[in-house]
Copies of this chain bind each other. A is one copy, B any other.
Amino acid sequence: MSTRDKIMDVALNMFSERGYEAVSIRDICGEVGIKESTLYYHFKNKKDILDSLIEKFRSHIDGLLLHVDEITEKPAKKGKKSDDISLQMVDSYMIDSYLFDPFCNLMLRLMMIEQFHNEEIRALYEKTLFTDPYEIQMNVFRKLAKAGAIPEKDVEWIVKETHSYMTMLTFKYLLNGDLTEKRKKAYYKEVHDFMARRFIA
């Protein structure tokens, strides 16, 4: 890993635990193993590290959203028979590549902390945790409705319930304490139970 990447990695870990202001350049450099003056070769200033992290996160989720769009649309294009496969694919992809992804998880924590005094972060936080997931679910279930799997009129409340349940679980298990395997499993189990009851039973 390049020094620049190492700095961003260490900074994210610290920012997401103690908050941006509470972490010092000294702290970061100490952990990375460089002198403070060296950091300024790689970044203009402290704010630049935060901005770079946000930028990286932005392009990361842009990629995710693009990929999700593809998954959502593809089956229809390729004429697959079972449409609920796409639902599962979308959800498991979002869980693995987004909620369980170490970089994204730490970014969400950082945004959770920093949203209260940084409007840019607040907007990104709201989009990423509330708006986008709701939109994605909407797309999936609208497609299922079009395919006749569920009634058109139920779509809104199905999405609201599904989205609220997963959001609550995210805050309860993934944005609370350390992201341990135990918590991930608890999250997964509760998601599965909900899905099983709601869509299978």
User: Is A46 engaged at the interface, CB distance under 8 Å to the other chain?
Assistant: no
Contact across chains for B19 and A176 when beta carbons are under 8 A apart:
no
The CA-CA distance from A53 to B129 in the complex, in Å, is 29
Across-interface contacts of A113 in B (CB, < 8 A): 19, 112-113, 116
The CA-CA distance from A32 to B22 in the complex, in Å, is 23
A85 to chain B, nearest CB (A): 26
The CA-CA distance from A107 to B172 in the complex, in Å, is 18
Interface centre among A113, A122, A126, A197 (most CB of B within 10 A): A113
User: Is A141 engaged at the interface, CB distance under 8 Å to the other chain?
Assistant: no
Contact across chains for A163 and B157 when beta carbons are under 8 A apart:
no
Instruction: Mark each residue of chain A from 121 to 144: 1 if its CB lies under 8 Å from any CB of chain B, else 0.
Output: 010011001100000000000000
Contact of A164 among B122, B130, B165 (CB under 8 A): B165
Across-interface contacts of A126 in B (CB, < 8 A): 172, 176-177
Contact across chains for B16 and A116 when beta carbons are under 8 A apart:
yes
A186 to chain B, nearest CB (A): 12
The CA-CA distance from A126 to B163 in the complex, in Å, is 21
Interfacial residues, chain A to chain B (CB-CB below 8 A): 16-22, 109, 112-113, 115-117, 122, 125-126, 129-130, 157, 160-161, 163-165, 167-169, 171-172, 176-177, 194, 197
Q: List 19 A-B contacts (CB under 8 A).
A: A16-B116, A17-B116, A18-B21, A18-B117, A19-B22, A21-B21, A112-B113, A113-B113, A113-B116, A115-B176, A122-B177, A129-B171, A130-B172, A160-B165, A161-B165, A164-B168, A165-B168, A167-B171, A168-B168
